[in-house]
Amino acid sequence: MKKKVLLIYTGGTIGMIKDNVKNTLVPFNFDKLLEASPELKSENISLSNICTKNPIDSSNMTPDHWIEIVSLLNDNYNAYDSFVVLHGTDTMAYTASALSFMLENLQKAVILTGSQIPIGERRTDAKENLITSVEIAASGKINDVCIYFEDKLYRGNRTVKVNTEHFEAFHSPNFPVLAEAGVNIKYKNYLPKATGKLKIHTHISNDVAILKLFPGISIKTIDAIFDSAKGIVIESFGTGNGPTSLEFSQLLDKAIENGKILINITQCLQGSAILGNYATSAPFGKSGIVCGKDITTEAAITKLMFLLGKRLTDQEIKKELQQDLRGEMSN
């Protein structure tokens, strides 16, 4: 029997054409995307497509768009074997991370892909990304939210965008690739399959902020960021280090007393936040500050948005932040 794969088009470079009046790229009709790739036709795969209400440049992505995508996946979950989501590259890692938390007990492939060059251009990378994503989705070997880009399949909530100019736009700094596509597709890392019925989560809170430490950052700036949101992701130095000044320590105390949810992660691309490695990690050893280990910024912020949306108690949120919920952090 043919494998049934549903394409969900959300926008992005992969489906863009040039507006000759404004000289900018704008989304075009999804059907033309399929016309541009006749190679998608297969005897083994039945391909269908739907579109979000308003395809967008992914820089305009919001939690409402994630909810729309999740709702489309849920509505079509029983009718299809797997899914491919076409998405702009700029926020793809955020969306992949968010979907991984919003889709509990996922047992089918949800592959996000896109391109650096529009599908209608001569040197486009769109066709290979799209064709191979569909083949991987139909293989039955993947049951997670993933990103496929330039010959590699990554776990979605372990992925970051690292390049705007090369076709190798993404990297998974702390987790091995799941598959590599050459003459054949070689699956390297099999993920455990979830059990239970699919459960979707559609309450997402944007009451979050990111504090990226840098030498010379003012106490006033830190205080303003702490005051701006309920949940704060702190990107600290190295293995989770920060200023040891009394003022910074007092701000952390104040934030904790005011019921803020703080998660400390490293701003380095690879590696992990580890408490106690250096004396400068002491400020983050306070009771109430969660150590995010090797989680990416994209996964940390979307996990926080997801947990805040569940309307849990502060202690429950902190407990779940420390747990590996969807493979987003190493134990």
Rounded to 5°, the CA angle 138-325-189 comes to 40
Measured in Å, how far apart are the chain's first and last C-alpha atoms? 40
Reply yes or no on whether the pLDDT at 185 is more than 70. yes
Q: What is the pLDDT of residues 145-164, one digit of tens each?
A: 999 998 999 999 999 999 88
Of the candidates 10, 66, 57, 111, the residue with the CA atom closest to the CA atom of residue 305: 66
**Residue 235 in contact with residue 213, Cβ under 8 Å?**
yes
Mapping DSSP to helix (H, G, I), strand (E, B) and coil, where does residue 155 land?
A: strand
Q: Which residues contact 69 (CB under 8 A, 6 or more apart)?
A: 8, 10, 52, 85, 95, 99
Q: 39 falls in which pLDDT band (50, 70, 90)?
A: confident
State how far the Cα of 306 lies from the Cα of 199, in Å rounded to an integer: 14
- Which helix (H) or strand (E) segment is 112 a member of? strand 110-113
Q: Which of 10, 13, 113, 296 is catalytic?
A: 13
pTM to 2 decimal places: 0.93
For each of the domains in the chain, give its residue range(s) and CATH number, in order of start.
3-200 (3.40.50.1170), 208-321 (3.40.50.40)
Higher pLDDT, 45 or 28: 45
Q: What is the pLDDT of residue 191?
A: 79
CA atoms within 13 A on the CB side of 224: 6
State how far the Cα of 325 lies from the Cα of 266, in Å rounded to an integer: 19
13 is catalytic: yes
Q: What token pair was written down for 15?
A: 């489906």
Q: Which residues contact 23 (CB under 8 A, 6 or more apart)?
A: none
Helices (H), 229-296: 246-257
Q: With the C-alpha atoms ordered 66, 71, 76, 80, is the resulting torsion angle positive or negative?
A: positive
- Which helix (H) or strand (E) segment is 11 a member of? strand 3-11
Q: What is the pLDDT of residues 190-232, one digit of tens each?
A: 777 888 999 999 999 999 999 999 999 999 999 999 999 999 9
